[in-house]
Amino acid sequence: MNLLITGGAGFIGANLVLHWLRNHPDDVVINFDAMTYAGNLENLQEVKTHQNYRFVLGDLRKPLEIEKAFTEHNVEAVIHLAAESHVDRSIHGPAEFIETNITGTFNLLETARKFWGAEMSAHRFLHVSTDEVYGSLGSEGKFSESTAYAPNSPYSASKAASDHLVRAWHHTYKMNVVTTNCSNNYGPFQFPEKLLPLLINNCLQNLPIPVYGDGKNIRDWLFVEDHCEALDRVFHQGVSGEVYNIGGANEWSNIDIVRFVCKELDRELGRSGDDSCEKLINFVTDRPGHDRRYAIDAEKIETALKWTPRYSFEQGLSKTIRWYLDHQDWVKNVTSGTYQDYYERQYG
């Protein structure tokens, strides 16, 4: 099979490309990526010379570039990961999110529809989305596949719109689609604007650790390797037209995560007292429209597809911390220039 993975040089995308070529070595994986600030081909050094790996520099906002990839590589299936994904960036500059996440998804769907034609049902289109489309929860309850959409940020609104497009292309054109909505991912190769790599990097650099509001916002955390295994399962076994929520069953408040990681890093780095990483915690003005709590009900994928996460948060976090400590050159490369400017603009 010739599989197009959009956003394959990004965080989840790179992990998925690596997972796919390890587990499905006979498939040809075409990595279609625009190489924005969050894309990094260093993430894929392991498969750079793999006989079944292809890289295509392409932008979803440009239909001709998508069509060229489909034509040259005879694309037979798609896993659509490419997206602008950082909530803070969407608040300060929503236009890119509309163009990439909505128009880009439309362009991809239309190209697939054009190329697959009458054989549409034989070609799978897996659309990867987020639990943020559901809005915010109170102290109880969880998001299920039937939860009404209520996005509260430009990012989540753009992802909600793309989800609706995928649903419509299934019902209108009979495209063989499946959609997943996942909780917060963490693990290797994540760009250090997201909480966990930001926290680890700032501890190592003795920079303030920004915590929004009171730090009691709660998220469900999913280790990226678990997510890749779930996507693999949904791609191969999911029912066309269905939605599957993917969660890690790991609800943590932001401040509890920060303190836990600080303790782990103190142990790793031999810090204590006034040198403790916890001394770097800095509560900052809350993010506009900051959702209070997310939690995923993953019963459907667990029951129907027999998938459950293998890693507890503590296990996954330990692997993640170790990876960042062992890959400081990677961190330095991705945090130069763009990242530093962004950090200073956001947090001072």
Q: Which residues are catalytic?
A: 131-132, 155
Of 7, 14, 342, 3, the residue nearest 190 (C-alpha)? 14
CA-based max dimension of the chain:
67
Of 316, 321, 84, the residue nearest 197 (C-alpha)? 321
Within 10 Å of residue 49's Cβ, how many Cβ atoms?
7
Helices marked H in the chain — which ranges? 11-23, 63-73, 87-92, 95-97, 104-116, 154-173, 195-205, 224-237, 254-269, 299-304, 313-326, 328-334, 338-347
Question: Which single residue is written with the structure tokens 């292309």?
Answer: 169
Confirm if 295 and 220 have CB atoms less than 8 A apart: yes
> What phi and psi, each to the nearest 5 degrees, are found at residue 18?
-60, -45
Task: Kindly write down the DSSP assignment for every residue of 70-121, as one continuous string.
Answer: HHHHT--EEEE------HHHHHH-THHHIIIIIIHHHHHHHHHHHHHGGGGG
Confirm if 215 and 257 have CB atoms less than 8 A apart: no
Q: Is the dihedral of CA 153, 156, 160, 162 positive or negative?
A: positive
Q: How far apart are CA 252 and CA 164, in angstroms?
A: 29
Q: How far apart are CA 286 and CA 293, in angstroms?
A: 14
Number of H helices, E strands in the chain: 13, 12
